[in-house]
Amino acid sequence: MRLAQKIALITGAGSGIGRESALLFALEGASVVVADVDESGGRKTVAQIEDAGGRAVFVHADVSRAADCAQMVEVAVSHFGGLHILLNNAGIMLAEDDDAVATEETVWDLTMNVNLKGVYLGCKYGIPAIRASGGGSIINVASFVALLGAATPQLAYTASKGGVLSMTRELAVIHAREGIRVNALCPGPLRTELLMKVLNTEEKRQRRLVHIPMGRFGEALEIAQAALFLASDESSYVTGATFTVDGGITAAYVTPE
């Protein structure tokens, strides 16, 4: 097993990338702390892990709140005995997120609080626990829009993910000699509930698909498999990296139909 004896904390694990990562990490031997604001979804993830013979515990956590982030790390330490893997996956993409003129300040602030501050708080409380456990891997979920502009305006989301990417690089440099690796995972457009709520018409979906060389949306499991590599010792010489899993969208933004 690739994550045997490891303890993983995954935010936003009640659905999408987070759930698929939690299931996969558990299958590979990790004990998993499932953190989410969605209690029903989070507990369903735990039940699926336990039904498959794995070990998991749910903790309610709003990653924009320091107390919640401190608590989710404490649960990992108290319930399983430490922390080796932190997957900062929780994020939001609001339908009201648009260009600078149309995006309300409340939308900007909420997006930044969850997507960027949430990663900072996860690292703030997670890094001491990973250090105390002898080192490990932090994976921060950014996005392909951190690398190029989105065809559909979503300024707050794009800016927040750019911040995640920059923060990841700096953290990687700071903690490299402590045995703590920090990498950014940049998914392309995925067939997840989060994105499909925004691309809620066939016209919007086609506008995004035309730019993807592979001609399809990615699946959450495909991102989870990339996260598994970054979480495992197979990526032991990888830190500060931008791991892009995007169907080729950043390689050839304009693609003929």
Q: Please say if the pLDDT value at position 4 is more than 80.
A: yes
Q: Is 52 a member of any domain? A: yes
- For 148-185, the pLDDT digits (tens) are 987 779 999 999 999 999 999 999 999 999 999 999 99
Alpha-carbon distance of 73 to 109, in angstroms, equals 25
Residue 252 inside a domain? The answer is no
Q: How many domains does the chain have?
A: 1
Q: Is residue 87 domain-resident?
A: yes
Domain annotation covers residue 249: no
Q: What is the pLDDT of residues 196-243, one digit of tens each?
A: 777 778 877 877 788 889 988 999 999 999 999 999 999 999 999 999
pLDDT digits (tens, 9 = 90+) for 36-60: 999 999 999 999 999 999 999 999 9
Residues with Cβ < 8 Å from 155, sequence gap 6 or more? Answer: 97, 98, 99, 100, 103, 108
Instruction: Report if residue 36 sits inside a domain.
Output: yes
> Structural domain of residue 162, as residue ranges?
7-244
Q: Is 157 a catalytic residue?
A: yes
pLDDT value, residue 254 = 58
Look at residue 32 and tell me whether its pLDDT is greater than 80.
yes
Query: What integer pLDDT is reported at residue 253 of this predicted model?
Result: 56
Residues in a beta bridge with 34: 10, 58
Q: Do residues 9 and 25 lie in contact, with contact meaning Cβ atoms separated by under 8 Å?
A: no
Distance CA 142, CA 158 (A): 9
- 1 lies in a domain? no
Q: In this structure, is residue 152 part of a structural domain?
A: yes
| 111-152 tens-digit pLDDT | 999 999 999 999 999 999 999 999 999 999 999 999 998 777
Question: What pTM did the predictor assign?
Answer: 0.95
Taking CA atoms, 208 is separated from 16, 89, 90, 125, 191, in Å, by 19, 22, 23, 36, 12
Q: d(Cα 46, Cα 34) in Å, to the nearest integer?
A: 7
- The enclosing domain of 15 has a CATH number of 3.40.50.720
Selected catalytic residue, list 120, 125, 157, 253:
157
**In a domain? residue 39:** yes
